Amino acid sequence: MITRFRAVAALAFAASLAACTFNPATGRREFSMISRDEEIAMGVTEGPKFAAEFGGKVNNAELQSYVSRIGHALAAKTEGDYPSLPWEFTLLDSDVINAFALPGGKIYLTRGLARQMTNEAQLAAVLGHEVGHVTARHINSQMSRQGLTSLIIGVAAAASGQEYGQDVAEIGQQVGGVVLLKFGRDQESQADEFGMRYMSKLNYDPKGALEVMQILQRAMAGGRQPELLSTHPYPETRMERIQNALGSTYKATQGNPQFSLRESEFRSGFLPKLNALPAPKHPGAVKKSDAGTPFMGKYGYCALCLAGDRSHD
């Protein structure tokens, strides 16, 4: 039985090595079971369904164009062949405070989050964060890693025989789940990093990323689960990391007039039109006990995870 287990495990390991590809955004070879074309197809298929669940597109061409212009400018600063993805940036008619990414470059921002902002750099930070999820291929990595984890647990359970197989499977699922949650938190921190990278290339002050976390911190309400069991780090954790980056990697941008928050453009060209909209189609009301709990759709990742509608889990 042990020999059989080792043989199957060796095959799983060999398969994982064969599926490693180089990612120009991260600069590393990474495990991948999903091709670029498959990622694009997922986004195309799931995008309309996902948008419909959150009120659909905001019915204002100028607002959509504003968000799309900034999003495409960020996407153009990505690495390798990522600029050629069929990027699409959509402002959703939902009052929840969130932003999401689907595979293949489909990015969504809710009007509930947008109306909390005070400058364009904050908008660029959120969109850049979601672009970072796509270029780091986080959705691909999660799906691939989950598949590999399930395979290893199944092999271990089978090798343990009938007497201990069920126990091994249950323990494996619990341990694997915590590992995958940690992997998700690391991804959020990396997406924060990428968002700052892309926005600074457009001469936005990366301090906008810190301000987004402050928005998150103010908006969180009610109790929250331990960070160890959350797919996202606490705002305080992310703020500390962003502040460290502002004092090191992006030190030259602080107090530098070349890098700006672009508050006047946002207040004159975006907020008045946003505030003039009728009530959102998706009010985003949630129970108090749900506030602050993370939301992740079938393929989507969220930037803030504030008052996610738990019916979508």
Q: Give per-residue pLDDT as tens, 97-122.
A: 889 898 899 999 999 999 999 999 99
Q: Is 138 exposed, middle or buried (0-12, 13-18, 19+ CB in 10 A)?
A: buried
pLDDT at 65: 98
- How many C-beta neighbours within 10 Å does residue 32 have? 19
For 114, half-sphere exposure in the C-beta direction (CA atoms, 13 angstrom radius) is 28
With tokens 């699409």, the residue in question is 88
Q: Give per-residue pLDDT as tens, 258-309.
A: 999 999 999 999 999 999 999 999 986 543 333 333 334 444 444 444 333 3
Angle made by CA atoms 121, 193, 218, in degrees to the nearest 5: 55
Single out the residue of 126, 77, 66, 50 nearest to residue 270, CA to CA: 66
Mean pLDDT of the chain: 77
Categorize the per-residue pLDDT at 185 as very low, low, confident or very high, splitting at 50, 70 and 90: confident
Q: Which two tokens stand for residue 291?
A: 């506030």
Task: Give the chain's domain count.
Answer: 1
Q: Measured between alpha carbons, how far is residue 309 from residues 103, 286, 287 in Å?
A: 21, 6, 9
Q: Which two tokens stand for residue 121?
A: 């750099």
Cα–Cα distance measured from residue 310 to residue 173, given in angstroms and rounded to the nearest whole number: 22
Q: What is the mean pLDDT of residues 172-178?
A: 40
Categorize the per-residue pLDDT at 4 as very low, low, confident or very high, splitting at 50, 70 and 90: very low
What SS3 state is found at 204?
strand
Res. 145: pLDDT tops 90: no
pLDDT at 186: 82
pLDDT at 35: 86
Q: What is the mean pLDDT of residues 169-184?
A: 43
Cα–Cα distance measured from residue 202 to residue 199, given in angstroms and rounded to the nearest whole number: 5
Residues above pLDDT 70, as percent of the chain: 66
Categorize the per-residue pLDDT at 231 as very low, low, confident or very high, splitting at 50, 70 and 90: low
Cα–Cα distance measured from residue 70 to residue 238, given in angstroms and rounded to the nearest whole number: 23
pLDDT at 29: 87
Higher pLDDT among residues 294 and 182, named by residue = 182
Q: What is the mean pLDDT of residues 199-208?
A: 98
Res. 71: pLDDT tops 90: yes
CB 97 within 8 A of CB 304: yes
pLDDT at 50: 84
Q: Residue 243 sits in which domain range? A: 2-312
